[in-house]
Amino acid sequence: MKVLIPGGSGLIGTALTKSLLADGHEVVILSRSAQTKVPAGARLVQWDAKTPDGWSNELNGADAIVNLAGATLDHRWSESYKKIAWESRENAGHAIAAAVEQVEQKPRVLIQSSAVGYYGPRDDTPATEDTPPGDDWMARVCKAWEASTEAVEKHGVRRAIVRSGIVLTTEGGALPKLVLPMKLFAGGPIGSGKQVMSWIHIDDEVQAIRKLIDDESASGAFNLTAPNPHSNREFVKTLGKVMGRPAFMPAPGFAVKLMFGEMSTVVLDGQRVMPKHLQEIGYQFEFPELQPALADLLN
């Protein structure tokens, strides 16, 4: 199987690439930089993330494309950066849709990345794939991100949208930021601690994406979150237990807002997101519970 991964040099893309390569599949990573490092065995192809020019031949006859392209949201959200983040997602998706239209042998499936931010801040009210989107900036950018590749469906390409939660990995993302203060005996809840964290182990993230590639019945939206989300207070308490550290030093919400600005919504506003559709197609989580997931990653 040949798989193209636009934006595949990040945390999820790298883990997915290694998994596919281990099973003998061909992986082509599209990156704007020719200097991007990719796992041994993968091929790097440069693209402008705006047009099909110079790379669409790689798509001709490929089996699947996994669109992970977009500027990182782990960055203070100035108005100028929000424009970059939004346009990077829309432009890449439109380029992929244009390439699919051009090639004679079209891929059988496109996996379109998104995030649980699609649902907006929801406190403790559960959200499934059937829940309507929120109306904050993060929700709107997720809607645009998902819509950017919708046109491939009229060409007979099956499309599955993955709304990922907090992906737990020691290679980057949220977990190392929580681990560091815990190591220094300064860990604790953030803000009220009541906000719900919808998380997923990196291994389940990868295997869920692979199931969506392989399962011909899988189309539409899928929440990639473990079935047992936790409040932030419960999360850091469990993290402290796994690390053998106390978790009693709270980070006040006002301080987080001062430090991160609008981006603070990611950590201060909770979402209880459930993987209804993923479980309906028979996906079995390797790490459905938080403590074993953290122990696997940290021990």
Per-residue pLDDT tens over the stretch 8-30: 999 999 999 999 999 999 999 99
Say which amino acid occupies 170: T
CATH code reported for the domain at 2-168+200-225? 3.40.50.720
**Domain residue ranges in the chain:** 2-168+200-225
Q: What is the distance of C-alpha 216 from the center of its chain?
A: 22
Query: What is the C-alpha to C-alpha distance for residues 150 and 98, in angstroms, rounded to an integer?
Result: 11
pLDDT in tens, 101-119: 999 999 999 999 999 999 9
Q: What are the two backbone dihedrals, phi and then psi, of residue 191, each rounded to the nearest 5 degrees?
A: 60, -135
Q: What is the distance of C-alpha 225 from the center of its chain?
A: 10
pLDDT tops 70 at residue 260: no
DSSP secondary structure of 38-54:
--TT-EEEE--SSS-TT
Task: Identify the bridge partners of residue 122 per DSSP, sorted by sequence position.
Answer: none
Q: How far is CA 134 from CA 39, 59, 82, 227, 274, in A?
A: 37, 34, 17, 21, 16
Task: Identify the bridge partners of residue 201 per DSSP, sorted by sequence position.
Answer: 168
pTM, to two decimals: 0.95
The pLDDT of residue 247 is: 86
For the record, the structure tokens of 76 come out as: 């203070």
For the record, the structure tokens of 203 come out as: 């291994």
pLDDT in tens, 267-294: 667 899 999 999 999 999 999 999 999 9
